[in-house]
Each structure stands twice: as C-alpha cells, then as structure tokens.
Amino acid sequence: NRTRLLVILAHATHIFELHTMKMLHLLETAPNPLGLAALSLDGESSLCVVLPTATKPSPGRLVIFDATHGHPLSTVRAHESEVAALAISPGGEMLATASLKGTVIRVFSMPYGELLHTLRRGTM
C-alpha cells in the first residue's frame, strides 16, 4: 500500500498519510516488542491494519482496524499464547497468524476475523 505509513512503537502505532505525512490515527496497542503489524486493502478498498489490541490486552488477541474510516472492525482471539507473526494475503481477503509456541498457524477472513483454517505442526 502506498498511501499510508505505519510507525510501530512499543505501546502505540501511528498511521500517517504518506504524501502529506499528516498523522491520521494514534492507536494504543498491547505491548508489542516484536513490532507486529500488517497493512492491506480489504475487499472493499478500505485500508486495514492488524495490531495487538490494547482494549482487552491478553496474549494472542488482535484488532483489525479500518485505517480509511478510523474505527475498529473486529477483534480476533488468534491464539492462547502470544502471536509471533502475522500477515495479510496480497488481496486482503485473509489474515494468517502464528503462535509464539510455533505449533499452530490460523487463517482468518478479513476484515471481520472469522476463523477459516487451523494448521498444526506435524499434521498433514
């Protein structure tokens, strides 16, 4: 995406309009030492940001935020333990998350976070 810039800090994320560098949103996050964040277009051409949530901080909980209109879309309980990695598909239809334990990868629909698949290490 070439219209927004994310600045990820330990307890907050700033979203800037890239061309003017105007700050659009300041989002408080749960402690985020890994700098986890993903930015993508959703199916309706809105910009979505996925971050660890600060509203109900607990390991494994993420918020999907509409960066175009400035409001949260959904909260996803991705894992029981902390999230180690997350990524949004190129078309913005899916979110993949990996647990810190490394045993589970979950795939959710975007932007509302419905669980689509759970993949476990060692099972095929």
Q: What is the pLDDT along the chain (124 residues), one digit of tens a residue?
A: 577 888 999 999 998 988 999 999 998 888 888 888 888 864 455 677 888 877 766 788 898 888 888 888 889 999 988 899 999 998 888 999 998 888 899 999 988 899 999 999 766 6
pLDDT at 60: 87
Taking domain 34-120, whether its CATH number is 3.40.50.10490 is answered by no
For the chain, strand residue ranges (E) read 4-8, 12-17, 23-28, 38-41, 47-52, 61-66, 71-77, 83-88, 94-99, 104-109, 115-120
Which pTM does this prediction carry? 0.83
Indicate the domain borders of the chain: 34-120
